[in-house]
Amino acid sequence: MVVRVSFRRGRATGAHRQIESEAYKAAKAHGRPILREFSHCPTPANLLERVGNLVGLVSGAAITDNPNIGVLQLGDGRVMCLTETTKGSTLIDPESLETVGRFSYTDRIGGMYMVQSAHPIVTKSEFLTVLPDLARPGHLVVKMEAGSNERKVIGRVDCRGGPTPGWLHSFAVTENYVVVPEMPLRYSSTSLLKSELAPFYVFDWLPVSGSYMHVMCKSTGKTVASVEVPPFMAFHFINAYEEEGEIIVDCCEHNGDPAIIETLVLHRLRSFRDKDVLPNARVGRFRIPLDGSPYGELETALDPEEHGRGIDMCRINPARLGKKYRYAYACGARRPCNFPNMLSKIDLVEKKAKNWHEEGVVPSEPFFVARPGATDEDDGVVISIVSSDDGEGYALVLDAATFEEIGRVRFPYGLPYGMHGCWIPAKN
Ligand SMILES: [Fe+2]
């Protein structure tokens, strides 16, 4: 489902609409999920179905196209909802929220490149993303010019660990480089081949396989650095920039522990509402040397107590993408909790956080919208869709500088937890 809040002349209007994916239509027709989702795998009733599932996985027919991770505006104005399967890229009409149809890539990049990062880097001029290679462990970095449906290959990095590529939910860019993470949470070949869930859905946690960060030059496609780093577990990269012979890369890092994935299972969220069971997380800062050194560093950017030892679903001022920056906005934790329940503004210079919290609510990813004509990095507002435990919800608008509430727009009905959103400026 996609939810929209429109702000016009001091008033706000809400709307929502179901995205008509094939996965949704099949689930509706059968009364249960039919395709393979992130945390759901249809159980084959017999050997024939098992073989059918395997064929469906290889062809892509059995995997979901449910684009429930994010929504973004392409450089040419089209609006795309997406998930980690390439086939899930779906265009919607931003006015009516109607499903326009599947975004068809016109290139020949297919085969085992059936998954993609859920977080492409999109600017006015291009769409840049990373595709894991499930057949020959590696990652393909591709870009697509605004207005085009054709992805072009920038380059490829081979994975240094194995036997499969590391999960890559998001990645980072600097002005000149693409940073490709290789986490020890790797696609599970057993899960893929046997059509069953691995300990972490479709992933295995293999710290002995090593953790790496690769740096690719955007213009040549050459890998200019590939370093081993301490084990890390990150869904979301915050930003990256170049600085005196090294690259700084920040992410929401779960202390090298994949337990966060189990924590987010629905029955656990329902069972441990008042327990302090949310695993600790921090702002992890990688330092990647560009002088050929074999190792990179991973440090904690600020005391995690500043944001309640929880941090994820991060955003920055998009004008600072790939550049030195100071502020990040994310979901933090007011303990005790079993889920991120706070909004945090992280100051990476002062190493402090400002926090917003209200009892009994869960805010979704806070995204930053600059004031027109702004020059200060935090001159603007932060918007988050908030679900409350009384069954209602509201869009919250905070002053990005003070992190104090400017206003809220109540919905007359409950809102499902929002994943990732975007701001689309009005045409006039
Ligand atoms: Fe995400």
268 confidence band (pLDDT: 50, 70, 90): confident
CA of residue 83 to ligand 1 center, whole Å: 9
The closest of 196, 198, 209, 199 to 166, measured between CA atoms, is: 209
Does the structure show a pLDDT above 80 at 57?
Answer: no
CA of residue 84 to ligand 1 center, whole Å: 10
Q: pTM of the prediction?
A: 0.95
Write down the number of H helices and E strands in the chain: 5, 29
Q: What is the CATH number of the domain that holds 299?
A: 2.130.10
CA of residue 72 to ligand 1 center, whole Å: 12
CA of residue 69 to ligand 1 center, whole Å: 6
Cα–Cα distance measured from residue 274 to residue 217, given in angstroms and rounded to the nearest whole number:
47
Does the structure show a pLDDT above 80 at 60?
Answer: no
Cα–Cα distance measured from residue 337 to residue 261, given in angstroms and rounded to the nearest whole number:
16
199 confidence band (pLDDT: 50, 70, 90): confident
Is there a domain that residue 207 lies in? yes
Does the structure show a pLDDT above 90 at 78?
Answer: yes
Does the structure show a pLDDT above 80 at 144?
Answer: yes
CA of residue 369 to ligand 1 center, whole Å: 19
Is there a domain that residue 419 lies in? no
Is there a domain that residue 97 lies in? yes
Which helix (H) or strand (E) is 288 found in, with range?
strand 282-289
Is there a domain that residue 405 lies in? yes
The encoded tokens of residue 143 equal 């870009």
236 is in an annotated binding site: yes
Is there a domain that residue 415 lies in? no
- pLDDT score for 44: 72
224 confidence band (pLDDT: 50, 70, 90): very high
Q: What is the pLDDT of residues 329-348, one digit of tens each?
A: 999 999 999 999 999 999 99
Which helix (H) or strand (E) is 398 found in, with range?
strand 393-399
307 confidence band (pLDDT: 50, 70, 90): very high
8 Å CB contact between 169 and 119: yes
Cα–Cα distance measured from residue 314 to residue 236, given in angstroms and rounded to the nearest whole number:
7
- pLDDT score for 80: 98
Cα–Cα distance measured from residue 110 to residue 182, given in angstroms and rounded to the nearest whole number:
21
In the chain, the number of structural domains is 1
Q: What is 232-277 written as a DSSP string?
A: --EEEEEEEEEETTEEEEEEEE-TT-THHHHHTSHHHHHHTTTS--
Cα–Cα distance measured from residue 34 to residue 170, given in angstroms and rounded to the nearest whole number:
27
CA of residue 272 to ligand 1 center, whole Å: 23
Q: What is the pLDDT of residues 396-422, one digit of tens each?
A: 999 999 999 999 999 888 877 888 999
- pLDDT score for 386: 95
CA of residue 414 to ligand 1 center, whole Å: 22
119 is in an annotated binding site: yes
Of residues 223 and 52, the one with the higher pLDDT is: 223
Identity of residue 266? L
Residue-range definition of the domain harbouring residue 404: 2-410
> Position of tokens 């069953």?
196
Is there a domain that residue 378 lies in? yes
Is there a domain that residue 120 lies in? yes
CA of residue 236 to ligand 1 center, whole Å: 6
Is there a domain that residue 294 lies in? yes
